[in-house]
């Protein structure tokens, strides 16, 4: 199989395996999604979902959150790790959203990436899942599987993102990045598959 043939096969099979792609992070709108994605850095989604109800009980919008003391935010989100940094970022980005964006999350990559604690991956998740803008957020699962499936050299996540965008139709990006995450978590884990054991690895490389 060529690289493009592998990509085409994966897209077809992942659509069969995961016809529905619910967003793993529980949220109500663009703001709560933004905060949840920020909290998910170096933290499992399930842990984030355990923490966010208490956080959003304090405030679930930028205007309310900017009035919550950073120490209070930090106490709630401590189980997510990196709490001092994340709590400061949540407080400051909330203030910036109010002062510079009318209290709304901007549907703009540059504006999102200018917010404290918001990198390209977080901005990509918000743009794709909150606003429907085609994006291909690359997390550790996608980065690992893109290398395992020989779709990218895996030098870094930026390189992987560029490679995947070239291989898959733009209209598939928003759903596909979730499908790869689901598959990586369930079947093609770092330790559970060596590139030859799981269903898709067997299909890909039996035909290579």
Give, for all 208 residues of the chain, the pLDDT tens digit.
899 999 999 999 999 999 999 999 999 999 999 999 999 999 999 999 999 999 999 999 999 999 999 999 999 999 999 999 999 999 999 999 999 999 999 999 999 999 999 999 999 999 999 999 999 999 888 999 999 999 999 789 999 999 999 999 999 999 999 999 999 999 999 999 989 999 999 999 975 4
Q: Please give the model's pTM, rounded to 2 decimal places.
A: 0.93
Q: How many CA atoms lie within 13 A of 2 on its CB side?
A: 4
60 is catalytic: no
Q: Are residues 47 and 80 in the same domain?
A: yes
Q: Are residues 15 and 91 in the same domain?
A: no
CATH of the domain at 85: 1.10.340.30
Q: Are residues 57 and 108 in the same domain?
A: yes
Residues 88-145: tens digit of each pLDDT: 999 999 999 999 999 999 999 999 999 999 999 999 999 999 999 999 999 888 999 9
HEC sequence for 133-178: CCCCCCCHHHHHHHHHCCCCCCCCHHHHHHHHHHHCCHHHHHHHHH
Q: Which of 45, 60, 139, 150 is catalytic?
A: 139
Q: Which 3 state secondary structure label does DSSP give 92?
A: helix
Q: Which of 121, 150, 163, 207 is catalytic?
A: 121
139 is catalytic: yes
The closest of 88, 125, 75, 77 to 105, measured between CA atoms, is: 125
From CA 24, how far away is CA 145, in angstroms rounded? 19
Q: Which domain holds residue 48?
A: 30-129
Question: In the numeric block, which tokens belong to residue 202?
Answer: 């067997």
Cβ proximity of 131 and 104 under 8 Å: no
Q: Are residues 17 and 41 in the same domain?
A: no
From CA 145, how far away is CA 193, in angstroms rounded? 10
Q: Are residues 115 and 158 in the same domain?
A: no
């Amino acid at each position: 199989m060529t690289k493009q043939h592998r990509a085409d096969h994966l897209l077809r099979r992942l659509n069969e395996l995961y016809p529905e792609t619910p967003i793993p992070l529980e949220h109500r709108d663009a703001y709560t999604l933004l905060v949840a994605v920020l909290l998910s850095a170096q933290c499992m989604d399930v842990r984030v979902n355990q923490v966010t109800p208490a956080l959003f009980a304090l405030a679930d919008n930028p205007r309310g959150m900017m009035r919550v003391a950073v120490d209070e935010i930090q106490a709630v989100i401590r189980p997510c790790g990196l709490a001092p940094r994340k709590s400061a970022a949540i407080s400051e980005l909330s203030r910036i959203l109010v002062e510079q964006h009318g209290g709304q999350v901007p549907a703009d990559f540059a504006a999102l990436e200018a917010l404290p604690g918001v990198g390209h991956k977080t901005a990509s998740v918000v743009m794709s899942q909150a606003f429907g803008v085609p994006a291909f957020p690359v997390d550790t699962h996608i980065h690992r599987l893109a290398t395992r499936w020989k779709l990218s050299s895996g030098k870094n996540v930026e390189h992987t993102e560029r490679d995947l965008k070239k291989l898959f139709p733009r209209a598939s990006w928003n759903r596909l990045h979730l499908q790869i995450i689901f598959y990586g978590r369930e079947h093609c884990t770092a330790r559970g598959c060596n590139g030859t054991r799981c269903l898709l690895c067997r299909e890909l490389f039996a035909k290579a």
